[in-house]
């Protein structure tokens, strides 16, 4: 089978397999779940799925559905638990790598008993536990701190070093992994890490590289470079939507919010209406090709002068008599006599 190489990625036919130095075991991105690891289906070791709320699940024992190891999003707000009895915990989020648990005092340690402490007391092992007592002499020492970088992340081991790790040590970040594509996934894609909220501003990336932000967005590199060109998915519009007009797909890379509202058009903005310098009393008339404004012909069937208008009201307040309506063409219905009616107009007392 022919092999092609691109930026450390081997492509076998339609699939994508990891070939980065040191990556010697199979790993494949197989899709996603809403939250937890899959509970059905047949899976191979190294299969990986992504939870829609940030979890990553890796199959570590093949089967139906197999055995899965999961990692979870970082907890950003809740203080870590106080030290106490060992417990796995039930949280579905991970602690920050630089989190700090409350500092215990000496007496709260599991193998220390401090009673009636006096000035100058020391803590001494009595054969079963540490207890406080007056000093009786002796000597001691401390473990030296490491002066070299810690090992890269790998298989778990106790280690043989006689040096203690420094409290603020940092292990090297793992290299990006390009997953094996499913049928139909014919171009390389590579998860290269995360950012706080935006696309990477430095570094060199290939087309198909993508990052996940801590605000829940996926950003994909569409043009290779340093740092390349990136498209943000899940980025919602922050400006008002376009006015109505000629139909167009648009060019924005942002999505419209589902409750967005377009501005209501005016009469003259409608596609088949042309209003030019309108004056009082003009009407909109179809001229054969468009609706245009014009002045009604004298005595020629104008709606305001020929139809009977009814004014309804329930209190002493009522709308003004319609402008331009001839005398005798308005009928009032309300509890008080109108003051602006004309000869021939009618009024009906709504109170009976």
Provide mean pLDDT across the span 275-302.
76
Between 310 and 138, where is the model more confident?
A: 310
Q: Is the pLDDT of residue 156 over 90?
A: no
Q: Is 112 exposed, middle or buried (0-12, 13-18, 19+ CB in 10 A)?
A: middle
Provide mean pLDDT across the span 156-175.
79
pLDDT band at 326 (very low <50, low <70, confident <90, very high): confident
Helices within the chain (DSSP H only): 303-306
Provide mean pLDDT across the span 106-116.
77
For the chain, give the mean pLDDT.
76
pLDDT value for 318: 77
Q: Is the pLDDT of residue 228 over 80?
A: yes
Q: Is the pLDDT of residue 37 over 80?
A: yes
* Percent above pLDDT 90 for the chain: 5
Nearest Cα neighbor of 6 from 273, 344, 16 is 16
For residue 239, CA distances in Å to 242, 252, 256, 266, 334 come to: 9, 11, 9, 21, 48
Q: Are 207 and 222 in contact (CB under 8 A)?
A: yes
**Side-chain-side CA neighbours of residue 342 (13 Å):** 12
User: Does the bond joining 65 to the residue before it have cis omega, within 30 degrees of 0?
Assistant: yes
CA dihedral 158, 163, 169, 170 (to 10 degrees): -50
pLDDT band at 273 (very low <50, low <70, confident <90, very high): confident
Lowest mean pLDDT, pick from 26-35, 271-280, 315-324: 26-35
225 Cβ contact list (under 8 Å, min separation 6): 204, 205
Between 162 and 338, where is the model more confident?
A: 338
pLDDT value for 2: 39
Nearest Cα neighbor of 42 from 70, 67, 18 is 67
Q: Is the pLDDT of residue 222 over 70?
A: yes
pLDDT value for 14: 32
**φ, ψ dihedrals at 269, nearest 5°:** -85, -10
Provide mean pLDDT across the span 214-226.
88
Provide mean pLDDT across the span 32-61.
83
Q: In this predicted model, what pLDDT tens digit does every residue of 194-213 receive, in sequence order?
A: 888 888 999 999 988 888 88
Tell me the DSSP string of 21-90. TT--S--EEEEEESSSPPSSS-B-TTEEEEETTS-EEEEEE-BSS-EEEEE-PBP-SSPPPPS-S-----
pLDDT value for 174: 60
Compute how many other C-beta atoms are within 10 angstroms of the C-beta atom of residue 11.
20
Provide mean pLDDT across the span 320-332.
81
**Torsion over CA: 125, 127, 132, 133 (sign):** negative
Between 136 and 331, where is the model more confident?
A: 331
- Predicted TM-score of the model (pTM): 0.29
């Amino acid at each position: 089978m022919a092999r092609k190489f691109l930026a450390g990625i081997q492509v076998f036919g339609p699939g994508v397999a990891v070939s980065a130095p040191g990556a010697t075991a199979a790993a494949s991105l197989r899709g996603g779940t809403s939250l937890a690891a899959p509970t059905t289906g047949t899976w191979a070791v190294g299969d990986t799925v992504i939870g829609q709320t940030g979890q990553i699940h890796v199959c570590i024992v093949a089967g139906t559905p197999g055995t899965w190891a999961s990692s979870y999003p970082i907890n950003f707000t809740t203080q870590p638990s106080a030290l106490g009895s060992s417990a796995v915990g039930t949280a579905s989020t991970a602690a920050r790598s630089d989190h700090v648990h409350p500092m215990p005092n000496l007496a709260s340690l599991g193998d220390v008993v401090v009673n009636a402490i006096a000035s100058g007391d020391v803590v001494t092992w009595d054969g079963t536990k540490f207890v406080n007592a007056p000093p009786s002499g002796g000597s001691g020492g401390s473990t030296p701190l490491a002066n070299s970088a810690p090992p890269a992340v790998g298989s778990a081991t106790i280690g043989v070093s006689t040096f203690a790790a420094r409290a603020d040590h940092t292990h090297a970040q793992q290299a990006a992994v390009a997953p094996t594509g499913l049928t139909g996934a014919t171009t390389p894609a590579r998860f290269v890490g995360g950012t706080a909220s935006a696309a990477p501003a430095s570094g060199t990336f290939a087309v198909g590289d993508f990052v996940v932000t801590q605000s829940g967005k996926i950003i994909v590199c569409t043009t290779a470079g340093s740092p390349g060109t990136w498209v943000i998915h899940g980025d919602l519009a922050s400006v008002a939507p376009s006015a109505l007009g000629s139909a167009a797909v648009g060019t924005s890379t942002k999505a419209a919010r589902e409750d967005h509202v377009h501005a209501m058009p005016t009469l003259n903005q409608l596609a088949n209406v042309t209003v030019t310098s309108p004056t009082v009393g003009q009407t909109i008339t179809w001229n054969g090709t468009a609706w245009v404004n014009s002045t009604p012909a004298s005595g020629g069937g104008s709606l305001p002068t020929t139809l009977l208008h009814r004014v309804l009201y329930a209190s002493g307040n009522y709308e003004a008599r319609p402008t331009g309506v001839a005398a005798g063409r308005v009928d009032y219905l309300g509890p008080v006599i109108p003051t602006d009616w004309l000869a021939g107009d009618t009024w009906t007392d709504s109170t009976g």
